[in-house]
Structure 1
Amino acid sequence: MFYVYIVECKDGTLYTGWTVDIEKRLTAHNRGKGAKYTRSRFPVVLKYLEQVASKPEAFQKEYSIKQLTREQKYQLIAQSKSDQIT
Structure 2
Amino acid sequence: MPRKKYSAEFKAEAVELVRSSSSSASAVARDLGLSPTMLNRWCREAQRSTKPVFQGSGTPRDQELARLKRELAQVRKERDFLRDAATYFAKGSS
TM score, norm. by length of structure 2: 0.28
| Structure with larger RCO (C-alpha < 8 A, sep 6+) | 1
Which structure carries more helix by proportion? 2
Larger radius of gyration: 2
TM-score under structure 1 normalisation?
0.30
